Amino acid sequence: MTRSNLRTRLRTFAAGGLAAASLALPAAAQQEPPMLQPRVDAGELPPLAERMPTGPLVVEPFDELGRYGGNLRSNMRGPSDIMTLVRTVGYENLTRWDNWQPGDPSDGLVPEVVMNLAESVDVNEDATVFTFHLREGVRWSDGEPYDTDDVMFWYDHVYSNSELMPVKPSWSVVEGQPLVAEKIDAYTFTFTFPSSHGLLLTSLATPVIDPDQDIPGRPTTYPEHYLRQFHAAFNDNADQEAREAGMQSWVDRFHNVASAYRNPDVPTLHPWVVTTGVGQGTGEEVVFERNPYYWKVDPEGNQLPYIDTVTVDLTADKEVVLLRAANGDYDFLDTYIGFVTTPENRGTFYDNQERGNYHFREVLPNRANLNILSLNQTAKDPVKRELFQQKNFRIALSHAINLEEIIELVYLGQGRPYQVAERPESPLFDEEMATQYTAYDPALANSMLDELGYTERNSSGIRLGPDGNPITIVLDIAVVRQPWLDSAELIRGYWNDVGVELVINTIERTALWERATNNEYEATVWSASGGADTLFNPRYYFPYDFLSFYATSWGQYYEGNANPEEPPAAIKTQQQLYDQILAEPDADRRTELFREIMDISKDQFYAFGIMQPTRDYGIQSNKLHNMPQTMMASTIYTYPGASNLEQYYFSE
């Protein structure tokens, strides 16, 4: 079976439904992982045929069938970096992103949603009722069945419980109304919404995690048979027992014991189950071992995962991580896992390849731009507002910036001069949009500013604005990334050359957030992560929320936040188009609608882009196989989990 054939089987885009293939395999074809054979022989585990669903999900290996054994070694930044675990060893949702990698950029990058724990889903015509059919016979890691009762436990006693989930996740709410779940039978349930929810299946595929509780909060993470004992609805002593266990309340304890990354006792549906959780043992590593009831196989019936154990170091010290990585102590690291494969460290990794027994692999950073400068067009100061809302004022200042020099000096030449635009791998890529106004042309900038009427200057050469005062822009920079500050210092010189003064004000991130919420800033910088998954976070292409720094009050109008201001007609059109996208179940139609948003964004030129990264790199052990050598590093698209880590294997 080729990978393309398998993908065709996994994608059943019939009207009203999306299904994934299962393959019923004869018991004789199923292979027991050697690590588990002694437990089966001792009667501690039933044989594989009794542990698997009737139709296990078949995973086509990326390159070839693997071999059993080995320990996968990686790193996370510390106890709070749970997302690294979610995106590697814990990516099992009702739906998931396809095991994709980008091809020719001209083909675009269109990852698709496939079924996972849900074997299929029927969607009614207006996308308000989703009927999910679970894969029959799937079991939790302790052998208990996973079925609709677990989904309903999540819905009735977690999702609907105002103490456990006081704020409902955005994917589950439409028009301010939370979803309604209903059990049909042991393996069938419905999610119902008051109006169309075009993004439900894609939202369910994303690895969203509750940042406060360190748990994903999805209907695939709450085993009823285990968690009932900690819930106040089923245990009158839950609060007292929680305090005796050192917790403030049953709610705190419930969240803690429900975490598949902290609690070795909670059953999971993941390929590996934690044996030493975050904060346990020495506190220096998290350890996982294979799930004997994992419900996926390779095409020959071998139960996955191939790799027996996973060890993840909790090391925040980048120098320590760099030393260990160069020594070959990790099987893969990159800009999203380990965070040390920077341009500055490339030489170190290159020099130590042979000793560390690893090679380089390519990572496409899913970032539209690493450095976006935004002038707040809704600034409270009426003079600054008048200036910033003038499109030609913004264009002039863009031409005044020497992007090539910034990239060479600040980013060591690792990037391209781009405005805020999608990556070339994205179906929404527009090269004209990406490159407009990027040419360094101070003469043109001066001419444009003169044409706007700002011809008079003070003794320092700074132009006088509409009120007769020098044009001075205060740029707030959160102390997050040094390149932002270094770039701003260069921009200050470029703009001074054309008669505009830039004042740089460093600020803490929380203070910047507060200023943005209260619309109390003139300009700031940030980065745009969505270079190919902007569908989920469009704030850089139209005022979407308070973090649309180029027009925070117009963004707050859309999100209903603290300081709303009704935006101009073009922006309202974009916001209405995005509403249509949220309700549109057809992926191609969503892309068409988003192109309309991008066309308006291109014309409006909201913010200045400085640099879009071209390629990042990662390192990979020469013994690790079936890992794609080029992948898009996207949190939304679950990097690297979408490549199915369960089919990675070691050659020895």
Q: Read off the CATH number of the domain in which 489 is found.
A: 3.10.105.10
> Is there a domain that residue 427 lies in?
yes
pLDDT of residue 33: 94
pLDDT in tens, 333-348: 998 888 899 888 999 9
- Of 156-160, 567-571, 582-586, where does mean pLDDT reach its minimum? 582-586
Say whether pLDDT at 19 is over 50.
Answer: no
pLDDT in tens, 354-374: 999 999 999 888 888 999 999
How many distinct structural domains can be found in the chain? 1
pLDDT of residue 216: 53
Confidence tier at 535 by pLDDT (50, 70, 90)? confident
> Is there a domain that residue 338 lies in?
no
pLDDT of residue 561: 81
Mean pLDDT of the chain: 90
Please compute the mean of the pLDDT values over residues 174-189 and round it to a whole number: 96
pLDDT of residue 585: 87
pLDDT of residue 15: 29
477 vs 339, which has greater pLDDT? 477
Whether 420 and 540 have beta carbons less than 8 Å apart is answered as yes
Say whether pLDDT at 395 is over 90.
Answer: yes
Share of the chain above pLDDT 90, in %: 76
560 vs 250, which has greater pLDDT? 250
Reported for 450-459, long-range contacts at CB under 8 A and 24+ positions apart, including other chains, are 451/392, 452/390, 452/392, 452/393, 452/396, 454/499, 457/499
Please compute the mean of the pLDDT values over residues 50-67 and round it to a whole number: 94
Spatial separation of the C-alpha atoms in residues 262 and 279, rounded to whole Å? 7
pLDDT of residue 170: 84
- Of 55-59, 110-114, 540-544, where does mean pLDDT reach its minimum? 110-114
Interior angle at CA 610, CA 399 and CA 508, nearest 5: 120
Q: Which two tokens stand for residue 401?
A: 């910036």
Query: Which range marks the domain in which residue 528 is found?
Result: 369-609
Could you give phi then psi for residue 156, rounded to 5 degrees?
Answer: -75, -35
Whether 304 and 294 have beta carbons less than 8 Å apart is answered as yes
DSSP H helices, 373-501, are: 382-388, 391-399, 403-410, 431-435, 442-451, 482-497
pLDDT of residue 30: 59
> Is there a domain that residue 374 lies in?
yes
Say whether pLDDT at 11 is over 60.
Answer: no
pLDDT of residue 214: 45
- The maximal CA–CA distance of the chain, rounded, in angstroms, is 90
Confidence tier at 217 by pLDDT (50, 70, 90)? low
Say whether pLDDT at 3 is over 80.
Answer: no
pLDDT in tens, 261-273: 999 999 999 999 9
> Amino acid identity, residue 628?
P
Say whether pLDDT at 552 is over 80.
Answer: yes
For tokens 């020594």, name the residue: 327
Task: For residue 457, count other CB atoms closer than 10 A to its CB.
Answer: 13
Spatial separation of the C-alpha atoms in residues 494 and 100, rounded to whole Å? 42
Say whether pLDDT at 304 is over 90.
Answer: yes
Kindly tell me the burial class for residue 619, based on how many C-beta atoms sit within 10 Å of its own C-beta (0-12, 13-18, 19 or more): buried
Say whether pLDDT at 18 is over 70.
Answer: no
Q: Which two tokens stand for residue 408?
A: 């060479």
Please compute the mean of the pLDDT values over residues 247-265 and round it to a whole number: 95
User: Which of the listed ranges 18-27, 136-145, 412-421 does the model predict with the highest average pLDDT?
Assistant: 136-145
> Is there a domain that residue 22 lies in?
no
553 vs 101, which has greater pLDDT? 553
> Is there a domain that residue 500 lies in?
yes
Spatial separation of the C-alpha atoms in residues 235 and 238, rounded to whole Å? 5
Q: Which of 603, 620, 426 is nearest to 529 (CA)?
A: 426
415-435 b/e (C-beta count within 10 Å ≥ 16 → b): bbbbbbbbbbbbebbbeebbe
pLDDT of residue 21: 40
> Is there a domain that residue 463 lies in?
yes
pLDDT of residue 339: 83
Q: Which two tokens stand for residue 261?
A: 């990354």
pLDDT of residue 13: 27
Cα dist. 211→80, 82, 601, 606 in Å?
Answer: 9, 9, 31, 30
Share of the chain above pLDDT 70, in %: 92
> Is there a domain that residue 174 lies in?
no
Please compute the mean of the pLDDT values over residues 149-175 and round it to a whole number: 93
Continuous segment of H or E residues that includes residue 75: strand 71-76
Spatial separation of the C-alpha atoms in residues 170 and 268, rounded to whole Å? 24
425 vs 294, which has greater pLDDT? 294
> Is there a domain that residue 212 lies in?
no
pLDDT of residue 248: 95
Reported for 427-431, long-range contacts at CB under 8 A and 24+ positions apart, including other chains, are 427/108, 427/109, 427/110, 427/591, 428/534, 428/591, 428/594, 428/595, 428/598, 429/105, 429/108, 430/598, 430/602
